[in-house]
Structure 1
Amino acid sequence: MKSLPDNATLLIIDLQMAIEDPRWRADGPRNNPQAERNVAALLTAWRWHKRPIVHIRHDSTEPDSAYRPDRPSHAFKPEAMPLPDECVFGKSVNSAFIGTMLDDWLRNKKIETLVVAGVITNNSVETTVRHAGNLGYDVRLVQDATFTFAKRDWSGHLRSAQEVHDLSLANLSGEYATITDTAAILATIA
């Protein structure tokens, strides 16, 4: 994997307490139980090296969503808690680029490389990565710092969280992003 520029930005998507809502696990457990630990390791490295960090927060407008700003579950998970000087963008749709100033913020800082972690692999992560790729960003998706849940496919067959995750990664690999892991990313900035 090619090295990361000094201003490669760590983009953490929707890692909020809402992801613990039992509704997400209706069809089975999630994959990558170590994802939060990996996000914390990435954050520690980015902070140590004083690299840019952006936290994306989902601000749902859906009446029953655990991601609504008026719910306690709207808070960031402890492993992904932003520091006061770190950038936070709130979004109300899947892509972190829609209805936010994210693209302007990145371009004003001449940032071209994004290292992406967060949730849900096949939802906001995939949508944001596709959008970033289409905008011309060099995206590195950290597959073991993201996770998803089991889901029924269009034919009604239950797919495990790992299957859903792997298919999403396959959709993104090459055209939209370079798929990588925490160890490889940390090695590029050590």
Structure 2
Amino acid sequence: MTALIVIDVQRGFDDAYWGRRNNPGAEANIAALLDAWTGPVVLVRHDSVHPDSPLRPGQSGNRFKPELAVASPDLVFAKKVNSAFHGEVDLDRWLRARGIEDIVLAGIQTNMCVETTARVGGNLGYRVKVAIDATFTFDLEDLTAEQLTAATVANLRGGGFAEIVNTKELLG
């Protein structure tokens, strides 16, 4: 059995605060995965502690994006750090209690919370797949969002943390 873990797909990432993003089709791919998924679904929300973040609890940006409305999640929880394995719920314990050894990740930001969750998941022994076309990120410092995504792909694949796939392959 494989769990789909959807990370931080929140309205606050539509805010100009973040700058230019890549992959405008990410939300449609996330919705397609959720619509077709037959295994367990986990939705994770980032509750930022930074006072100027649109992802702070109590702000409209903290809410999930409308594309997640097709989901019938088995688990929903919040986190304050990058890894979904370090949130309000012990995700590792939850997955193991259900005999889940395979996870697919999608969400925001590719090079932050998705990559960190993939790395921790790989370290914990899960077989991790990242649906790279169901993620996006933003330009950061002197790197474009596309460059950061390419670096994430190289880090995860080259480091043996995760297999990089696309939505069509997963739904194939």
Which bracket does the TM-score occupy, shorter chain normalised? over 0.9
How large is the RMSD of aligned CA atoms in angstroms?
1.3
Q: Which residue of 2 aligns with 1:110?
A: 99
Of residues 13, 31, 36, the one that matches 2:7 is: 13
For residue 131 of structure 1, what is the aligned residue in structure 2?
120
Q: Match of 1:162, SS? A: helix
Cα displacement string for residues 27-82 of structure 1 (whole angstroms, at most 9, x for unaligned residues): xx211110000000000111xx3x10000111112212111111011100011237
Which entry has the higher C-alpha Rg, 1 or 2? 1
Match of 1:43 among 34, 43, 46: 34
> What amino acid maps onto 1:92 in structure 2?
K
Aligned counterpart for 2:140 among listed residues 148, 151, 157 = 151
Matched, 1:69 2:57: yes
Q: Look up the SS of the partner of 2:128 in the other structure.
A: strand
Judged with a 3 Å threshold, the aligned counterparts in structure 2 of structure 1 residues 167 and 83 are, in CA distance, closer, same or farther, namely closer
Gaps of at least 5 residues in structure 1 are 1-6, 153-157
Code of the residue aligned with 2:15 in structure 1: it is: D
Cα drift, residue 11 of structure 1: 0.5
Residue from 139, 161, 165 that aligns with 1:176: 161
In percent, how many aligned pairs have the same letter? Answer: 48
CA contact (8 A) 2:43 2:73 kept: no
The residue identity in structure 2 corresponding to 1:160 is: T
Q: Measure, in 2, the Cα distance between the counterparts of 1:82 and 1:18.
A: 19
Closer, same or farther: CA 83–32 of 1 in aligned 2, 3 Å: closer
Distance 2:138 2:74 in 1: 29
Of the structure 1 ranges 114-123 and 60-69, higher mean CA displacement relative to structure 2 is found in 60-69
TM-score normalised according to structure 2 size: 0.94
Structure 2: runs of 5 or more not aligned: none
What is the alpha-carbon distance in structure 2 between the residues aligned to residue 82 and residue 71 of structure 1?
Answer: 22
What code does the residue aligned with 1:133 have? G
For 1:3, the equivalent position in structure 2 comes to none
